[in-house]
Amino acid sequence: MSTTTSKLSASGLLLGCIIFGLGSLIVAKLSLGGWAMSFWRLAVAGVLFALLALLKKQRFPTSKKAIFFGLCSGVFLGLDLALWHESIYAVGPGISTLLNSLQIFFLALIGFVWFSERQTILQLVGLCLALFGVMLIGSPEFGHNTNAAWGFITGITSGAMLAASMTFIKKTHDVEPTPILPLMTLVSIGGVVAMIVPMLILDNGQILPTSWAEVFWIFIYGSVMQCLAWGLIAYFIPRLSLAVTGLLLLSEPVAALLIDYLWLDKPITGMQWLGAAFTMLAIYLGTMKPKNRTLRRYRFFARFYKKSSHTTD
């Protein structure tokens, strides 16, 4: 790969991650509940993915098992988004996005339990660093924020839900290879259906946008953050080395932390910055497994996206 192409790929991936991080700012500013935000994000994205799939004439899976796995992935993605939103409301976009990024360790755990993947010393060191980093972040937060416990529980759990969602994407493709657009349509449908009941129960009174401005930002959240940002990430990941990819994926929590600190005026202590640095180092180490299988979970979408851009069947 030429230097120019490599720089372009790195810039594209960085842009996608930053756009993803900016999504947390929209969540923090709107009046909807966390479960309702998840519902609308996936509903908007689902319509767009379905229209694009029909436009490109991409084939939906015919296997009932593949369809089931795709819908299951959506259920877990909906839970991931809803819990991440709840964490944003409790501890802010920066800390919540950093906690969500711990998904890499849940992916490693799933790989160990479900796919018999061996863990390395580097990954175990990364896990210890992550725990230490979370402790440094949480100590000051628990001292002044009564919602800190809820924010940390939902933030970390959201990472587990995202790891499960990505695993079911792999299971879907194992049963029947599916282009990215039909696959993400199924994922969106599963997430939308799963959000209806908890949204009605937990977000009563905060389900519908209250102004046209909120309608606009919901559309931006679903189309730009769910479709465009992930499209950029999926397209450029295969064009970079694992080391560069692992580093650039950290730009999402970094962007969210900076937004939290500079734009939303959230006080972040020196100890929390240090904890964030330890946690991001741990996440980076988690992607550096030799003959890496964990980071390949990110590459599911990348392979599908790349393939779907060359096929219309």
Q: Is the dihedral of CA 23, 289, 286, 258 positive or negative?
A: negative
Task: Compute the distance between CA of residue 27 and CA of residue 60 in angstroms, rounded to an integer.
Answer: 31
Residue 169 CB partners (closer than 8 Å, separation 6+): 69, 70, 73, 183, 187, 300, 301
Instruction: State the DSSP H helix or E strand holding residue 39, giving kind and residue range, or none if neither.
Output: helix 34-55
Task: Compute the distance between CA of residue 108 and CA of residue 105 in angstroms, rounded to an integer.
Answer: 5
Cβ density class 292-305: b for 16+ within 10 Å, e for less = bebbbbbbbbbbbb
In Å, what is the CA distance from 255 to each residue of 94, 159, 207?
8, 18, 28
In Å, what is the CA distance from 234 to each residue of 31, 35, 144?
31, 26, 39
Nearest to 101 by CA among 278, 289, 291: 278
pTM listed for this prediction: 0.80
Q: What is the pLDDT along the chain (313 residues), one digit of tens a residue?
A: 566 666 787 787 778 777 877 788 888 889 899 999 999 999 999 999 999 999 999 999 999 999 999 999 999 999 999 999 999 999 888 888 888 877 777 777 776 676 666 666 776 777 777 778 778 877 777 877 888 899 999 999 998 998 888 788 878 888 998 888 898 899 999 999 999 999 999 998 899 999 999 999 999 999 998 888 877 776 676 666 655 665 666 667 777 777 777 777 777 788 878 888 887 787 777 666 544 444 555 555 555 545 544 443 4
Domain edges within the chain: 3-308
Q: For tokens 């497994």, what's the residue?
A: 289
